[in-house]
Amino acid sequence: MNASLEPMRRAFLEVLLRLAMDPQRMLAAGSDVWERSLRGGVPPEPAPSAPDRRFRDPAWREQPFFDGLRRAYLTGAGWLEDLVAQAPGVDRHTAHQARFYARQLTDALSPSNFPALNPEVLRAARESHGLSLLKGLEALCQDLARGQGQLATRMTDRRTFRLGENLATTPGDVVHEERLFQLIQYRPTTPTVYRQPLLVVPPWINKFYILDLRPENSFVRWAVERGYTVFLISWVNPDETHADVDWEDYLVHGLIAALEAVSRATGEERVSTLSYCIGGTLLASGLAWLAAQNDPLVASATLLTTQVDFSEPGDLGAFVDAPQLERLEAHMRERGYLEGLEMMTTFNLLRAKDLVWPFVVNNYLLGREPAPSDFLAWSTDPTRMPARAHATYLRELYLHNRLVQPGALSLAGVPLDLGRVKTPLYVQACREDHIAPFRSVYRGARHYRGPVRFVLAGSGHVAGVINPPSANRYRYWVPKPRPVASCRNATASPGNAPASAPNADVFASHSNAAASSLDADGIAPRGKTDVIASTPDASASFVDADGIASHADADAWLQDAEEHPGSWWTDWECWQSERSGERVPARIPGEGGLRIIEAAPGRYVRSRILPE
């Protein structure tokens, strides 16, 4: 058997053995599937806001054969997934794997994925006299060629998008370059800017321009327009020459080097930071690394969909155990990196029903071109992962969870302890995130000593983050209002003068002194619970305004949180503006301590793995 299928075989075998040892449960399961079949076989139809797109064609309900097929499939799929989830005596990791692979199996076996069982495919083939199937076969061959033998399914028409033309178009310049990254400084659009510069630390899984897509949904452009001097790390797309690059290299020769370069460019001793996904995990490591040396270089930090506590890592945890890591490490040593297509496939499998099978049906069974999408153009532009750094990330953080164990992980000779981090933090999670589950992000937020504001956004790992206020989509949850409500900067317009924010009722600002002593930003500092007891005049809502200290888990926090429509960006701006200093004359790239190397988006981001 293929080694990649061994975890699935092992998990299913364990579940079957446990079920076989419980005949009563098996009898109940058989009775359950019979009852489901008798009552029509399907749960209540999904709400109109969340239909099952696999069965959107009217024939799935209007024609008895296809309606029965749909019902039988949904009955069997639901029964199998429930049965696997109820297996007794299975350890947590194996149970997680079994549920994950059961979902993969049921997603793959959907009748919509088979040409002879999908009414839309049959109709298209009949109307085109078979041409749709021939086009699909041609597309399949082209995608196999693109992936050099691996299936690289096109999820969007990338010819519609070009870096520097309609993606990553915010004006800026590369002002610093090292082996691991280029540093971009964006050009100001306001006469004055906040004194404190803002360094954006994106993930190196995929590329930075998720934060600078089209002008209308670019977070970078939005921040520049609001008076921030924005710098951004553009990571190199590694090859075999980066095989020995480790996690600490990304820290010392990546994050720290970029922070020091920003300081040189602006003349400021302290830098604000904003990070995303694995970039946030690196930033959290950096905060602990700096705290261990009493270095105040980072003034504030925003962690978007960032995990630091991997005790509940979500579906990616199904791929992380000692045997799988040993095979993966041996595989990566062959070339010195993990190929980007493999990483992309792994992420797509986490939501195969949405990110794998719809494109199989559309491209190969219906013979249609995929629709243009800026999000998918970005997600299908993957990067490689250096072998050593990726092994460290998976083994030390995912498997052993050492980042949250004081002193268990050392980088560049410095033991890390998140409990020493006093930097003001803005921690954002997404409610439907399948990569960094919000409960895991919340758990991680409880490890810091300093003030933390926790905010939960609607939607998933990407759409929940890239949600500009102008889109009027989704919603977000914040702690209930603080006793005093104000905001220095207008969130709706980029003017130079401070103004009250439209969401001021959900955000109250206090001085940095108050934040550091009373934890006005949220989490009561670890080891400082005596603050509440010794400050009887301060209400609990003031001391622990975000409620993380008083809510042991994310669900309890959410139950007490306040829901708001729209984008979390305005809440972040209110928080960040309070921590960015006074306004100073705008800074022009090249006029500070660093010279211009080339125009943004730079060379590093243009290195592609897959042909367009």
Q: What is the DSSP string of 211-228?
A: GS-SGGG-HHHHHHHTT-
pLDDT band at 452 (very low <50, low <70, confident <90, very high): very high
Residue 86 · residue 25 · CB < 8 Å? yes
Residue 607 · residue 144 · CB < 8 Å? no
In the block, which residue shows the tokens 């009887």? 536
Lowest mean pLDDT among 295-299, 535-539, 557-561, 574-578: 535-539
> How much is the average pLDDT of 176-183?
98
Closest by CA position to 455, among listed 466, 469, 465:
465
Residue 596 lies in a domain: yes
Closest by CA position to 318, among listed 4, 2, 19, 83:
4
Predicted pLDDT at 252: 98
Residue 320 lies in a domain: no
* Burial classification of residue 97, based on how many CB atoms lie within 10 Å of its CB (0-12 exposed, 13-18 middle, 19 or more buried): buried
Predicted pLDDT at 287: 98
Residue 218 · residue 184 · CB < 8 Å? no
Predicted pLDDT at 43: 53
**pLDDT at residue 555 tops 60:** yes
Residue 597 · residue 175 · CB < 8 Å? yes
Convert the pLDDT of each residue in 561-598 to its tens digit. 999 999 999 999 999 999 999 999 999 999 989 999 99
Per-residue three-class SS string for 260-275: HHHHHHHCCCCEEEEE
Predicted pLDDT at 96: 92
**pLDDT at residue 514 tops 50:** no
Instruction: Please indicate, yes or no, whether residues 155 and 180 belong to a single structural domain of this protein.
Output: no
Convert the pLDDT of each residue in 436-446 to its tens digit. 999 999 999 99
Residue 301 lies in a domain: yes
Instruction: Please indicate, yes or no, whether residues 479 and 499 belong to a single structural domain of this protein.
Output: yes
Residue 316 · residue 328 · CB < 8 Å? no
Predicted pLDDT at 307: 98
Lowest mean pLDDT among 25-34, 134-143, 219-228: 25-34
In the block, which residue shows the tokens 């029903």? 353
Residue 319 lies in a domain: no
Residue 326 lies in a domain: no
Predicted pLDDT at 182: 99
User: What does the alpha-carbon distance between residue 482 and residue 489 come to, in Å, rounded to a whole number?
Assistant: 18
Amino acid identity at 244: D
**pLDDT at residue 491 tops 50:** no
Closest by CA position to 308, among listed 444, 163, 417, 415:
444
Convert the pLDDT of each residue in 344-361 to its tens digit. 999 999 999 999 999 999
Residues ≥6 apart with Cβ < 8 Å to 260 = 297
Higher per-residue confidence, 551 vs 191: 191
CATH number for the domain spanning 288: value is 3.40.50
Instruction: Please indicate, yes or no, whether residues 517 and 594 belong to a single structural domain of this protein.
Output: no
Instruction: Please indicate, yes or no, whether residues 602 and 561 belong to a single structural domain of this protein.
Output: no
What range defines the domain where residue 67 resides? Answer: 3-124
Residue 173 lies in a domain: yes
Lowest mean pLDDT among 13-17, 160-164, 388-392: 13-17
Q: Which residues are catalytic, by number? A: 277
- Could you tell me how far CA 338 lies from the centroid of its own chain? 19
Q: Which residues pair with 301 in a beta bridge?
A: 273, 425
Q: For residues 510-530, b (16+ Cβ closer than 10 Å) or e, as one string?
A: bebeebbbbbbbbbbbbebee
* CA distance to 2, 67, 497, per residue, from 577 (Å): 54, 56, 12
**pLDDT at residue 537 tops 90:** no
372 in helix, strand or coil? coil
Predicted pLDDT at 135: 98
% of the chain exceeding 90 in pLDDT = 73
* Burial classification of residue 316, based on how many CB atoms lie within 10 Å of its CB (0-12 exposed, 13-18 middle, 19 or more buried): buried
Cis bond upstream, residue 589 (ω within 30):
no
Instruction: Please indicate, yes or no, whether residues 407 and 289 belong to a single structural domain of this protein.
Output: yes
pLDDT band at 31 (very low <50, low <70, confident <90, very high): confident
Instruction: Please indicate, yes or no, whether residues 116 and 189 belong to a single structural domain of this protein.
Output: no
With 0.85 as the threshold, say if the pTM is over it: yes
Convert the pLDDT of each residue in 397-438 to its tens digit. 999 999 999 999 999 999 999 999 999 999 999 999 999 999
Identify the helix (H) or strand (E) that includes residue 176: strand 172-177
Name the DSSP letter for residue 163: B
Predicted pLDDT at 492: 42
Instruction: Please indicate, yes or no, whether residues 283 and 418 belong to a single structural domain of this protein.
Output: yes
Lowest mean pLDDT among 171-180, 280-289, 488-497: 488-497
User: What does the alpha-carbon distance between residue 562 and residue 584 come to, in Å, rounded to a whole number?
Assistant: 35
End-to-end CA distance of the chain: 34
> How much is the average pLDDT of 282-304?
98
**pLDDT at residue 369 tops 70:** yes
Closest by CA position to 184, among listed 229, 227, 214, 237:
229
Instruction: Please indicate, yes or no, whether residues 345 and 307 belong to a single structural domain of this protein.
Output: no
Residue 210: both structure tokens together? 């998720």
- For residue 273, the number of C-alpha atoms closer than 13 Å in the C-beta half-sphere is 33
226 in helix, strand or coil? coil
User: What does the alpha-carbon distance between residue 274 and residue 300 come to, in Å, rounded to a whole number?
Assistant: 8
Instruction: Please indicate, yes or no, whether residues 224 and 104 belong to a single structural domain of this protein.
Output: no
Instruction: Please indicate, yes or no, whether residues 106 and 142 belong to a single structural domain of this protein.
Output: no
User: What does the alpha-carbon distance between residue 59 and residue 226 come to, in Å, rounded to a whole number?
Assistant: 51
User: What does the alpha-carbon distance between residue 503 and residue 223 come to, in Å, rounded to a whole number?
Assistant: 17
Lowest mean pLDDT among 119-123, 251-255, 317-321: 317-321
List of E strands, 11-112: none
304 in helix, strand or coil? strand
- Could you tell me how far CA 318 lies from the centroid of its own chain? 17
Domain boundary among 100, 124, 148: 124
Q: What is the mean pLDDT of the chain?
A: 87
Instruction: Please indicate, yes or no, whether residues 169 and 152 belong to a single structural domain of this protein.
Output: no
Convert the pLDDT of each residue in 456-466 to its tens digit. 999 999 999 99
List of E strands, 368-469: 385-386, 410-411, 414-415, 425-430, 452-457
Residue 428 · residue 304 · CB < 8 Å? yes
Counting the structural domains of the chain, the total is 4
Residue 410 lies in a domain: yes
pLDDT band at 515 (very low <50, low <70, confident <90, very high): very low
* CA distance to 3, 306, 343, 523, per residue, from 209 (Å): 35, 18, 18, 32
pLDDT band at 319 (very low <50, low <70, confident <90, very high): very high
Residues ≥6 apart with Cβ < 8 Å to 45 = none
pLDDT band at 6 (very low <50, low <70, confident <90, very high): confident
Residue 176 lies in a domain: yes
User: What does the alpha-carbon distance between residue 11 and residue 505 come to, in Å, rounded to a whole number?
Assistant: 50
Angle at 439 between CA 433 and CA 442, to 5 degrees: 110
pLDDT band at 25 (very low <50, low <70, confident <90, very high): confident
Instruction: Please indicate, yes or no, whether residues 44 and 84 belong to a single structural domain of this protein.
Output: yes
